Structure formats: C-alpha cells, structure tokens
Structure 1
Amino acid sequence: MKIKRIIPALTILNGDLVKTQKFDQLNYNYIGDVLNSVRIFNDKEAEEIIITDIGSTINNSEPNFELIKKISSTARMPITYGGGIKNIYQAKKIISYGVEKISISSKLFKNFEFLKELNTEFGTQSISVTIDIKKVNNEYFIYINNGKLNTQIRPEDFIEGIYGYAGELIINNIDNDGMMNGIDENYIETIYKKIKIPLVVMGGIGSILEVSKIFRKFDIIGVACGSLFIYKGINKAVLINYPKKEILSNLDQ
C-alpha cells in the first residue's frame, strides 16, 4: 500500500514567505518569516515540506543559498526545494545542505538534457519535476516562467519523457492557486491514467475533507497545500496549521 502524504507548500519571494492567487506575483499576501513557519511545522510534526522560491525565477537570479541553508538546518522534515536551479553546481550545493529533493520546472523546457544530467549526478530519488498547468479552451497546457508562457505542451503528452529521470511529478494548477475553491479533479483524471511515478497534486485545496476525498478517489501519494495550512477561517487570518496525526491516519478511510 502506498503511503499517502499531505504536504505544506511554501512560496518565497525576496526572502519572505508569501501567498499568491493564480500565480499573480504583483498582488500577493505577505505571510511572514519563512524560518518561523518552518519551526511551527516542526512542532506540528509535518512529514515533509515543499519550498518554492518564485523570486529566483522572476528575477532570473541564483537560488538564495544562504536562506536554503538556514531552512535546511531549521527543518526537521524532508525538504523539496525548487526555484532558480539552472546548473549542476547549484543543485549540488543545495543537496549538500541536506535538502532531500530538488525540483525543476521552467529550465526543463529550455534544456531537457539538464534533467538527464541531474539524474546521472543524484539519481531519480532526489529529483522532482514540477509542472504548472492552465486550462485553455477546455484543454490543459503546461506554462513556464511562473505561469507567464504557454509551452503549448499538454501534460499528458509530456510526462512519459521524464520516466527514468525523475522520481516524482508535482502538478500545480494555476487557475486554482490560492483560491481554496476546490481542486480540479478533471486534470487529475487526465494525468492519473498515464502516470507511472509518484504524483503530488496541488492548487485549490480548501479543506481536509477534500484531501480525504482525493485520497479515496485516486491512488496518489501526495496532496500539497499552501493556503490551507497558512490561513484560518473565512476571513483568512494568518495562522500556520497542520492536521494532527490521528486525522492524517484516517484521510484515506
């Protein structure tokens, strides 16, 4: 039986923890200090965490190595880090800090050989591929550069190419990012029929009950949530939270 995972997903911009809606980097909510948030997830015994630095992509800059190092030394759970990774040297440096997995996205569509190089260096267990999708005329397409550029590639046509090179696929739905209005099960259906590696889905999750529904319907191993673990209540007051172990153990029942 596959172990189901529910994963906090944190977004960093210019060193701060932020939350976007529909990938809008101009209108985002400042959440606070990312290290304090990681400490809270430590206390709440989160099983793992996904960190994405959107600023590195927006600014075409190197990853914030000093911040990554601090996050890794603070976290007591495995970390997947993505954002600004453009070469093997950067990836090695991040892995050397104790980050368990690195995630690549936009770079993959500019140089697919980079994924092969990463696989040769680290193996599939240390590599996640993240794709951001958006619905256009009732079809899903992969977008890059923080949701700005449509690659004209359908996710179901793309995923077979990463088998043997990446150990995990993370799919984020741009239309539902930060909205908490429910995940789009249609895109999961589309990918689920073809996926052969572990799958993590995110974008729109509004409740733990919805996570439970996804786990019961699909034999996927991960649901990642941003707003659900950052906000509380209908007014979305900032309150870092995470379900208790007894709730997690019953999610797929």
Structure 2
Amino acid sequence: MSAQPRRHSLFRPCIDLHDGQVKQIVGGTLSDSAPESLKTNFVASQSPADFARMYHEHNLEGVHVIKLGKGNDDAARQALAAWPGGLQVGGGITDENARQWLDAGASKVIVTSFLFPNAKFSLERLRRLSSEVGKERLVVDVSCRRRGDSWLVAMNKWQDITDMEVNQDSLDMLSEYCSEFLIHAADVEGLCQGIDQELVSKLGEWVRIPTTYAGGAKDISDLDLVDELSGGRVDLTYGSALDIFGGTLVHFLDLVEKNKAAKARSA
C-alpha cells in the first residue's frame, strides 16, 4: 500500500478592511487610542467585491475578510455578496452577530476578542459561540505577539496582550471547538521583513487542524519556506508585498500558479 502524498502549503488571500476600504497596514500601529500612529502601506482603488471576484475567478479558497475597526460592515457584506460561501469574515464577531454573518454569505466566522473579556480567556464564551454556529463554521484567530521565548495572543487590533500563550496545549484545547486557526504574527505584520520562522516551525509541530499564518511574507520563496518549516501543515497569507496591494516583491498570478502546482503534488 503506497503512502499518501503529503499536503503542501498553499497561498491564502485576504481582504483587510479599514474605514470601508481595502487596505494594507502595519499591524502593530492600529490603535483606537492613538489613531495618528496608524501606518498605511496601501489603499486600494478597487472595491472589496472586486477582490472577492478576483479570488473566486482563480478558485482561491480560505479567503479571510478582516474588519479592522468600525465602519466596515457594508464593505464586508459587499465582498460576501460577490462570492457567497467563499469567504471567511472576522472583526467584532460575537455570539450575538455570528449567525448574521453566516446568513450574509460567510463560509465561516473568525473570532478573537470576544473570547477574551478583559484580556482573559473565557472557555464558556468559546463553547457558546461554537454551539451557536457549529464547530465546522468557526475559525479562532490566535494572532499573537512575541514576549521572550513565547507568543501570547493579542486582541483589540493586536494592542492588548491576553493571558493565553500559543502552544501545544492551548491549540489542542481550542481545536475542540473550531475547524481552523488564523494566526497573524502581529510584530512583523505589514513590514515585509520576513516571516517569523520560529513561530511557523512551532505551528507545524502543534497544529492538528487547518491553519493560516500571516505576517512578514516578502518573497514568493516564503511559501516554500513555510511548507518546509511546517511540513505542509500551515498555509501562508501575503499582504503588503503583493502587487495587487501595491507591492513590488511578489506577483499575485505567480502565487496562483504555485497553488495549482502544490495541489497537484498533494493529489
């Protein structure tokens, strides 16, 4: 009996929304208390729906739409309407509004801050939300910031550090209630200075469910690097480096071809 071919890491697209527009920002600079500190790398002339249609055209699954602050609901709904059932949505998701976003066309909802009242993890809230929407339609965003040799989950636009460390135990526990992880390395998000290789390697050891890493990708070879470091268990999102987001380092259509090749190798 021949061995199953191993899975290979894929490119997973994003639509980051700020003030109703598709933008690429430096993750660590987003703050309600100091809006003047925001560093924006790119503001798209195309609508959120335009990006959704482009991703649909190229059959790029697992797209995450992230609402960065208020004023993005209409823009998110435009994207969902352009590809019903093809996009995940996050940003301000709670047990009270999650069902509305699924009804609006989201394939899954993504949650962070709701799970951490006063920056402390609430298993009761996770259970409640998972019960409300179903494990298969819930993504837990454990975006994090490095503290010493550890990574701690960061919430509220990555400004507030929570009491949860990202490690084998916490990811095993969370995966009982969700079907996927999204993990922004907030310290390198938007900087195009390279991925957090140590975190990606650890995620490859720890995760048991589909996982997408975002933060720092700056070269098309980073997709091969993530594949190697994680054993194909972690997918990669590109942001500011991409030509569709005003970047010059990585071409979107090259990543589309990389995905086709990776899927062929994994088949």
TM-score norm. by structure 2 comes to 0.80
* Alignment partner of 1:83 is 2:91: yes
Describe the shift of the 1:244–1:163 C-alpha distance in structure 2 as closer, same or farther (beyond 3 A): closer
* Alignment partner of 1:121 is 2:136: no
Q: What CA deviation, in whole Å up to 9, does each residue of 1:29-79 have, x standing for no partner?
A: 3223322222333344433411000113xxxx8x71x43332112127721
**Residue 25 of structure 2 aligns with which residue?**
20
Cα deviation, residue 100, structure 1 = 0.4
Q: What CA deviation, in whole Å up to 9, does each residue of 1:103-122 have, x standing for no partner?
A: 00111122432321222233
Where do 1:53-132 residues align within 5 Å? 53-56=67-70, 64=73, 66-75=74-83, 78-88=86-96, 90-110=97-117, 111-132=122-143
Q: CA RMSD in A?
A: 2.5
Cα deviation, residue 18, structure 1 = 1.2
SS at match of 1:51: strand
**Residue 137 of structure 1 aligns with which residue?**
148
Describe the shift of the 1:245–1:8 C-alpha distance in structure 2 as closer, same or farther (beyond 3 A): closer
Q: Which amino acid aligns with 2:241?
A: L
**Correspondence for 1:226 among 236, 239, 253:** 239
Distance in 1, Cα, partners of 2:201 & 2:258 = 26
**Residue 220 of structure 2 aligns with which residue?**
208
SS at match of 1:151: strand
Gaps of 5+ in 2: 1-5, 31-37
**Residue 35 of structure 2 aligns with which residue?**
none
Q: Which amino acid aligns with 1:82?
A: G
Distance in 1, Cα, partners of 2:64 & 2:240 = 13
**Residue 164 of structure 2 aligns with which residue?**
153
Describe the shift of the 1:138–1:85 C-alpha distance in structure 2 as closer, same or farther (beyond 3 A): same
Q: What CA deviation, in whole Å up to 9, does each residue of 1:208-241 have, x standing for no partner?
A: 211022113323142122223323326x9xxx83
Q: What CA deviation, in whole Å up to 9, does each residue of 1:172-216 have, x standing for no partner?
A: 101110112211111122333222222211111112211022113
**Correspondence for 2:208 among 192, 196, 212:** 196
How many residues matched? Answer: 242
Distance in 2, Cα, partners of 1:107 & 1:123 = 16
**Residue 33 of structure 2 aligns with which residue?**
none
Describe the shift of the 1:217–1:232 C-alpha distance in structure 2 as closer, same or farther (beyond 3 A): same
Poorly superposed stretches of 4+, deviation over 6 Å:
none
Gaps of 5+ in 1: none
